[in-house]
Amino acid sequence: MVLVKVLSYNIRSMRDDTAALARVIKVCEPDLVLIQEAPRFFRWRKKLARLASASGLVVLTGGGSAAGPAILCNLRATAERTEDVLLPLVHGQHRRGFATAVVRVKGARLGVLSCHLSLQKDERYDQAGMLLDRLAGMGVDHAVAGGDLNDRPGGSAFERIAANLQDCWAMSPRGGEHTWTRTDPPRRIDAIFATKDIEVLGCGVPTDVPGVTGTDLRAATDHLPVLATLRIPAN
């Protein structure tokens, strides 16, 4: 069994306090970071690389080439392959995509997917199905997927994914629950999911991690991150 820490984070195109953003990521000590709303336009590769470097990580895949989702990793992770996937474009809506990779972390082989689903209910539900299809086609025994779902538990897209994968927060809540606090009531619209053979040791907003401060969380971006600690069978 291999211990792997996965962080999912909507970074709002790095339009806020990037130093605070890097501090939050770094002190969480993730092996993999599932990014949403990475920079997509002018010098997007350089901006994402700077964030990765400041966080003690490297860019694995994604960014503008995946319409926003990206994956960062530390040097424990070795890429077997990567693929950026653009989803069907619905007229009048934003382009969406998946950043995907198959990685090895020590003795574990793991499929990884970062997503940012639509604001529109029907399109979001369809994209949830595409997410499941993409994971099923990766040729791996173990996988994690996460991101900004724009949906909460009980919503059709959220439940479509949760019917097939473990909702890591529901399995083992740790830290905070709500990732979107700009509305009243706050909501959990960001999540990490794992295949059913992965043991979830804890998952939630990392408010209990030493070094993660409320000041940095508020300054970094408009979403709160989700951190999952997972135990993955070795292949």
Q: Is 28:212 a contact under the CB 8 Å cutoff?
A: yes
Bridge partner residues of 173 (DSSP): 203
| Structure confidence at residue 35 (pLDDT) | 98
Residues 6+ apart with CB under 8 A from 79: 60, 61, 73, 101, 102, 103
The pLDDT assigned to 90 comes to 85
Report residue 14 as tokens: 């790095």
**Angle of the 18-28 helix axis to the 44-54 helix axis, nearest 10:** 50
Tell me the fold of 2-232: Deoxyribonuclease I; Chain A (3.60.10)
Beta strands in the chain (DSSP E): 2-10, 32-36, 58-62, 70-73, 77-86, 97-105, 108-116, 143-148, 166-167, 190-194, 199-204, 226-232
DSSP label at residue 151: -
Q: What is the pLDDT along the chain (235 residues), one digit of tens a residue?
A: 899 999 999 999 999 999 999 999 999 999 999 999 999 998 999 999 999 999 999 999 999 999 999 999 999 999 999 999 999 988 888 899 999 999 999 999 999 999 999 999 999 999 999 999 999 999 999 999 999 999 999 999 999 999 999 999 999 999 999 999 988 899 999 999 999 999 999 999 999 999 999 999 999 999 999 999 999 999 7
Cβ-in-10-Å burial (0-12, 13-18, 19+) of 91 comes to: exposed
Q: Which of 227, 149, 132, 145 is nearest to 187 (CA)?
A: 149
pTM score, whole prediction: 0.97
DSSP symbol at 42? T
Domain extents for the chain? 2-232
Closest by CA to 85, choosing from 114, 122, 54, is 114
pLDDT at 184: 86
Give the pLDDT score at 235: 77
The full DSSP string for 48-95 is HHHHHHHTT-EEEEESGGGTS-EEEE-TTEEEEEEEEEEPPPPTTS--
Contacts of 8 (CB under 8 A, 6+ apart): 33, 34, 36, 114, 146, 147, 148, 190, 191, 192, 225, 226, 228
